[in-house]
Amino acid sequence: MQKTIHALESRFQRRVYRVRDIEKLGISQSTTYRRARADGPWTRLAPGVVLVAPGPPTLHDRIQAALLRAGPGAVVTGLVAAHLHGIAAPPDEVEVHVLIPHSRKVQSYAGTRFERTTRLPRPVYVNGVPTAPPVRAVMDGARTFRTWAFTQRLLRDAIRKAAECTLIALITEMEAGSRRGTAVPRAILRTFRNGTPPLHDRPARPPRPATEASRAAA
């Protein structure tokens, strides 16, 4: 078993595994969870998912954990996906936002949010990560209740850096998706359309505490 543990820890590219997959290699679940305790050499990232190294996890580790937890067909969206597309640098402690099929229910956990949707986009792979196309990623990020200035900068950067993110494309995506959280980006896009983007900061409405296992999108 020690040889198997050493082999897992020595792999260069993969560091995140489901507990049940580790069990198939001959390491019991009890051993894995013991090693993933706060004082252990591994790190628990999500229910049933561990990092076979001491923390803290990288953003890539957190993305991999979220995708393993979400299951097949999941797509990373929002600020993390926008960052992977080269559009924006995510803020500190950014939430990993993952879209899943509407028929699936996955419990969100600290730092990671799963959103059920009937509009699951075809993924664009960036460094092996299935991400939402730039327009969808940006609009999902824009409706996360951040400040006016942050949202304005995100939308400006998208239009400037990503050819797909035209003003019309962003407005079309906003109208096609969930209306939750669109008040601020809607107002900002209206100023862009009028040619007079505001220069002052304005706080967005703070987010409501998450109480649902996962959120449904239209």
Same domain (yes/no): 116, 100: yes
Half-sphere exposure of 27 (CA within 13 A, CB side): 23
CB 177 within 8 A of CB 119: yes
Distance CA 198, CA 184 (A): 12
Q: Among the three residues 25, 42, 57, which one is the final residue of a domain in this structure?
A: 57
Q: What tens digit of pLDDT does each residue of 134-192 get?
A: 999 999 999 987 889 999 999 999 999 999 999 999 999 999 988 899 999 999 999 99
CB 46 within 8 A of CB 21: no
Same domain (yes/no): 21, 107: no
Same domain (yes/no): 174, 103: yes
pTM of the entire predicted model: 0.83
Determine the structural domain holding residue 34 and report its residue range. 2-57
Q: What is the pLDDT along the chain (218 residues), one digit of tens a residue?
A: 666 666 666 654 579 999 999 999 999 999 999 999 988 999 999 999 999 988 789 999 999 999 999 999 999 999 999 999 999 887 677 899 999 999 999 999 999 999 999 999 999 999 999 999 999 999 999 998 788 999 999 999 999 999 999 999 999 999 998 889 999 999 999 999 887 554 444 444 444 444 343 444 44
Number of domains in the chain: 2
Distance CA 154, CA 80 (A): 12
User: Which residue, 144, 46, 125, is CA-closest to 81?
Assistant: 125
Q: Is the peptide bond before 56 cis (omega within 30 degrees of 0)?
A: yes
Which residues on neighbouring strands pair with residue 49, listed in sequence order?
Answer: 18, 46
Cα 90 from chain centroid? 11
Same domain (yes/no): 209, 117: yes
Length of the chain: 218
Distance CA 123, CA 132 (A): 5
Same domain (yes/no): 52, 64: no
Distance CA 218, CA 180 (A): 10
